[in-house]
Structure 1
């Protein structure tokens, strides 16, 4: 498995973001940053060019995670894995338009996170080879 993929974490709860960061690193992935608001995500993406973004749907700032994900896909070709504590159908329908790599429901279990990152890396590799 290719773990050289760079991961950006977008989560507005500091305790949750630290937990996710530790779990991602423990699984052997490179975390290039942790952001808590929409505006900072674009700066981080410009600077670091992550391969995968773990995106909380509800974040600080003027935009929610789905709006940020739309821009990341459109402007940079970057796909996200959504993180959410909610199962709101209208939000899920909206998020599907961003072609997400998957969804993780809080509280995130380590095995699910690892499995999702591995799946995402495989899918991104396939997309790059098309």
Structure 2
């Protein structure tokens, strides 16, 4: 199995990028866990509505605008992921600095593009 990924801002709506990312991650055989406001399932992935203490997270991919991210800074840092991906519209220099301070890598990139070009 590939890199265990947490999708933050997961949506049940099929047209949302977070939803597309979950499907594409699963198609590429990555283990996926997801956090969102509404419970449900995308592909074979349950969307959790509580911040769970996931173990072994390689990548956190964000689908929350910068104003909403601050509530999750400590949680994401506490998971000790290897990297955080800031998808288009989620760019957040304040969070970049916090991640740097905790030696967590980050990328300003699109998860869908990274997967499509085998750069994930």
Same fold (TM over 0.5): yes
Aligned residue for 1:21? 22
Aligned residue for 2:68? 64
CA distance in 1, matches of 2:111, 2:80: 28
Check if 1:83 corresponds to 2:86.
yes
Segments of 5+ residues of structure 1 without an aligned counterpart are: 117-130
Segments of 5+ residues of structure 2 without an aligned counterpart are: 38-46
Check if 1:105 corresponds to 2:109.
yes
Q: Aligned residues, how many?
A: 103
Q: Offset at 1:26?
A: 1.6
- RMSD of aligned alpha carbons: 3.5
Aligned residue for 1:49? 55
Structure-1-length-normalised TM-score: 0.55
Query: Greater share of helix residues, 1 or 2?
Result: 1
CA distance in 1, matches of 2:6, 2:56: 6
Structure-2-length-normalised TM-score: 0.58
Mark the CA change 1:96 to 1:57 in structure 2 (over 3 Å): closer, same or farther: farther
